[in-house]
Chains A and B, each alone.
Chain A
Amino acid sequence: MSDEKKQIEEITSQEYKYGFVTDIDVDELPLGLNEDIIRAISRKKNEPEFLTEWRLKAYRNWLKMEEPHWAKVKYPPIDYQTIRYYSAPKNTPKYNSLDEVDPKLLETYKKLGIPLEEQKVLAGVAVDAVFDSVSVATTFKEKLSELGIIFCSMSEAIREHPDLVRKYLGSVVPPTDNFFAALNSAVFSDGSFVYIPKGVRCPMELSTYFRINAAQTGQFERTLIVADEGSYVSYLEGCTAPMRDENQLHAAVVELVALKDAEIKYSTVQNWYPGDEEGRGGIYNFVTKRGICYDNAKISWTQVETGSAITWKYPSVILKGDNSVGEFYSVAMTNNYQQADTGTKMIHLGKNTRSTIVSKGISAGRSDNSYRGLVKVGKNATNARNYSQCDSLLIGDKCGAHTFPYIDVQNTTAQVEHEATTSKIGEDQIFYLNQRGISTEDAVSMIVNGYCREVFRELPMEFAVEAQNLLSLSLEGSVG
């Protein structure tokens, strides 16, 4: 056969195999999900064979699973064939100056205290050469690599550190764990990978470069953090700036592995687009987050959730090792028509394990906010200790707050304490503060921040300040 004919044959057989021409060159894959799409995603990222197989296996399992509907959230059925599962990150700016950006959006950025240059990047405005985000990120990374710390994107980790990834990926949240985790395992776009070597204390808070990179996070994020024996790391996820995305479904998976004597602190501030005042649009945040502790290890989850139309997540800790500790501090706020079904699972397996749960729910508008928690003590988990406190604060009379605590104890030496309160912001409290010269907006803010104090205390300082501003902003218009 002539060379020419051979080439044509190759090309046409490629077409046949993948259903489209030159898939390498396009920025996005067509809508829908099938094995070809998954292979294409894997190829676009230059992934090793083992990972492609891992994805496919997850996908095949996903096909056999049924979407769960036990949470107290309502949403129209999701058509998985109308979602685009891959599009290359867009770096081209949309505007030439901030003047072209929606002034309301800029107002929000200002209230959150976001510096001007960052505002530009977030809004999609072309940025001057003066603000060089690349060089800042580089010095940051140099410092870390001196200590042997790996902090990179998931995609990079798969290419540069396949053995580490292979060892731990799916070890805490297996692809078969649940419907959305299976989907994520099949199509995850990117996320963070962190590895802290033995005995190393990570000297700075790690975050997806503060706010800039967060703007490009995908809908199926996958994050894996491994703290080797005796190490420590504090990781920040998310940002206070409101994030919009044309993709509605966000199904992320975060796995934390704290080996013997290690500690991982994972903080999240989430403000995804919650939909408009009528409840239209808004992001569905269906996340699986779980950590596993070995002997004497500790994992703390701290979260402030104010965004998303629907939030469905239970950051959990498996207390496998003896003397291990799990903590969950959460403020989940819903306004307008938002819905949240969130909480945690603390699974006590080792001996002398301890867990602390402090959940503060705030409901306003016509929203619905549920806490769902599980404290499970296995039959060999001697001397397990748990303290849970779930509080609900209602603002106005059209919102809902619900609590679903599950306690499953199989060992007689366990001590499990559970406290719950429900309260509302009274007109008399607001008037008291008004009469002392404080505006209603500031009064509500003050009361809510006081209510959330215990949780904010656990956040790294700069996040705590942002979180307070964010909460105030999210409350605007909730007390009329």
Chain B
Amino acid sequence: MSLLEIRNLHAMVEGKEILKGINLTINEGEIHAIMGPNGSGKSTLANVLAGRDLYQVTEGEVLYKGKNLLEMSPEERAREGIFLAFQYPVEIPGVSNTYFLKTALNEKRKHLGLPELDAADFLKLVREKMKIVDIDQSLLNRPVNEGFSGGEKKRNEIFQMAVLEPTLAILDETDSGLDIDALKAVAEGVNRLRRDDNAFIVVTHYQRLLDYIIPDFVHVLYKGQIVKSDGRELALELEEKGYDWLK
């Protein structure tokens, strides 16, 4: 059984149809890159998989671990192991990063029938995970993303991924706005989180990130449809020829 199966997915936002029949299969252990020009529907796809209300699915189905994903609320999907690393992580004033993450983790643990972690145990876990992602200790006690630089926000996303250990992680243009060092740090974090039983969807505009997070498959999204799929060389070809080549 594949981890994620998308069949003929059509979706719209603000009355306009963006996804026009997406078909995609993802298995455990795989990294899939989704590339495409602006407006092609990359972020829409990421948000639809995460279950954002603003995006309406008009046709098609999505099976996650054999279950109907579209029927699940966003928080259910999260507890089932889906994680979206946001392109523009939002700030949540007054809510400490640590408290928020502990609550999130415990929701997942509750869902899986595991005992919740108390503050002390959670801090121990955090210290372990900090070794995976290069994140500054001081960011942990600050309110979620408040006053974080672009790079710090993206690192915080990967740090959360490290703590929550998702089965399917969707990285929505995680590289946008990052300098080369931040990019490398983020990529390193992701690579360290790879397991045989999880999978990644890396949504990106540029090839650059894929030098560090090497995908197994590359799909090109154009005007709401996947027009080409191949191995990693496709990304390099796009880099060379540009998106116009596909039209």
Contacts from A to B (Cβ < 8 Å): 423, 426-429, 431-440, 442, 446-447, 449-453
State whether B75 touches A434 (Cβ < 8 A). Answer: yes
Say whether B86 faces chain A, with CB atoms less than 8 Å apart. yes
Within 8 Å by CB of A432, from B51, B73, B86, lies: B86
Known: A432-B92, A450-B143. 19 other contacts (CB 8 A): A426-B90, A431-B52, A432-B86, A432-B89, A433-B100, A435-B51, A435-B77, A436-B100, A436-B107, A436-B160, A437-B78, A437-B111, A438-B75, A438-B104, A439-B75, A440-B75, A447-B92, A450-B93, A450-B96
Chain B residues within 8 Å of A423, by CB: 93
- Return 18 A-B CB contacts under 8 Å, by A number: A428-B90, A431-B53, A433-B100, A434-B78, A435-B78, A435-B86, A436-B101, A436-B160, A438-B75, A438-B107, A439-B107, A446-B100, A447-B95, A449-B94, A449-B95, A450-B93, A451-B94, A452-B94
CA distance A438 to B72 in the complex (A): 14
CA distance A434 to B77 in the complex (A): 9
Which has the most chain B C-beta neighbours within 10 Å: A427, A433, A449?
Answer: A433
CA distance A436 to B78 in the complex (A): 6
Q: Chain B 70-101, CB within 8 Å of chain A: the 1/0 string? A: 00011101110001101001111111100011
State whether A453 touches B107 (Cβ < 8 A). Answer: no
Which has the most chain B C-beta neighbours within 10 Å: A427, A436, A442, A449?
Answer: A436
Which has the most chain A C-beta neighbours within 10 Å: B75, B91, B107?
Answer: B75
Closest 3 CB pairs of A and B: A450-B94, A436-B104, A450-B95
Chain A nearest CB from B168 CB (Å) reads 12
Chain B residue nearest to A426 (CB atoms) is B90
Chain A residues within 8 Å of B52, by CB: 431
Contacts from B to A (Cβ < 8 Å): 50-54, 73-75, 77-79, 83-84, 86, 89-96, 100-101, 103-104, 107-108, 111, 143, 160, 164
Chain A residue nearest to B88 (CB atoms) is A428
State whether A437 touches B75 (Cβ < 8 A). Answer: yes
Chain B residues within 8 Å of A431, by CB: 50, 52-53, 74
State whether A434 touches B73 (Cβ < 8 A). Answer: yes
Chain B residues within 8 Å of A436, by CB: 78, 100-101, 104, 107, 160, 164
Within 8 Å by CB of A437, from B79, B95, B96, lies: B79
CA distance A231 to B107 in the complex (A): 47
State whether A435 touches B93 (Cβ < 8 A). Answer: no
CA distance A429 to B52 in the complex (A): 12
Chain A nearest CB from B46 CB (Å) reads 11
CA distance A93 to B22 in the complex (A): 66
Which has the most chain A C-beta neighbours within 10 Å: B50, B83, B93?
Answer: B93
State whether B86 touches A447 (Cβ < 8 A). Answer: no
State whether B94 touches A429 (Cβ < 8 A). Answer: no
Chain B residues within 8 Å of A429, by CB: 90-92
CA distance A362 to B95 in the complex (A): 16
Chain B residue nearest to A454 (CB atoms) is B94
Within 8 Å by CB of A433, from B83, B92, B96, lies: B92
